[in-house]
Structure 1
């Protein structure tokens, strides 16, 4: 009788070259790609399987979501990553630099070799440079590193609050089923963000539109996949979908605020510890 390891080995040998390459590059095999496709187009099929705790046909959505989050972080590099976006939020692109031999006036936040603060938006960059004695760009880069590390675990953890909301809507569902369904929603939202969101930002659309991707994706998935699972009537489905999308948006905002706060405070704490 084959052991689990032997079965995995046989399955690996039977995979085609393209499937193997996809799994090596993206971390997704054919079953994962099929799960992603079905979640986007026919989410009700996947949710019904999760409700019966049948995970055999589909890849756990948490695994797919982590892959998509990694791709999102890589794509954010096109806009300078989290740090680059923070820097341009306060200091416009193309701001001139102070000369390296520049001697700032007493009590001035300006620093040699740093971007000039004449056109800075708000007093935040000046405050940071006074506190740290370094360019605001250095702080922005540290913020970007913290945000990249914190994003997935914080957003993933806080989104699990939705388990209680879905539990209230379904009553009889097992927590593990709701866990997979919540990350099923996350998968679709992340997929839309990685594809459509990236296209919109590449066309110069304001990054402020990206927070709308999650509630709109959630609304779509709930309406497509919730009938007979979360609601037994179409009216109930629409009402619950609007409520769930609103709750998810609030939860996401709280998670983003927490991530931003930690990513902003973290570099300052490290600097104060290092330089006393």
Structure 2
């Protein structure tokens, strides 16, 4: 937990009963304008429920002027680009980071509808769902109690949820285990399904095709690989499945608009503040 005179930032792993569906929870409490947070491609689906001043997102499209959207409650699917955001004033919020298959079970819709997009949770979970749960969170003053409130709500939604396809579960597990270093052809061979069928299943139950998911996992591996594991950026590129350092540089710039060296500095700063990677993922860093 990080606590300053500007606010508080808390992270917690999901309990055992939801560990397969939920990566972690986050809590924010800001007393004024906080630092800008850069949310990274991380192969997770995010739910945010907040009160007070809304979250402001800054979308940095290369071909269009920067635009901003404000959200008290938000669902965000898997992304192949980064997003900057922050709270302009006094605010509190709870975030849930789902695994893709956990989100598929909890939300009950094809996840390609959320890919590279943000929607209000009520569009998926029903009118009033986010307001009712937010009221319970406001009435619960401590973070541990809030985690219990959110876990109980998610667990109720998953009681009768159909499980994901065993084929997708196996393919997802294999990609996670090798940090995306498995070609679409080899993935199809190991699962016994054709590439086209896997494309359809991944778009429905993960949100993005296997090639895009592999790219995100490879990026996350390069970002979170401990410094002592490689002597140079060239070593890092080789260990993480890139053709060479130039390939890794291009991928980082395309995904987040920064070089590997620049982003690794921000990642090291995040770790020093207690925002360590969980399950090989670093979902966000603070820009300033």
TM-score normalised per structure 2? 0.23
Higher helix proportion, which one? 1
TM-score normalised per structure 1? 0.24
Higher strand proportion, which one? 2
Which has the higher Rg, Structure 1 or Structure 2? Answer: 1
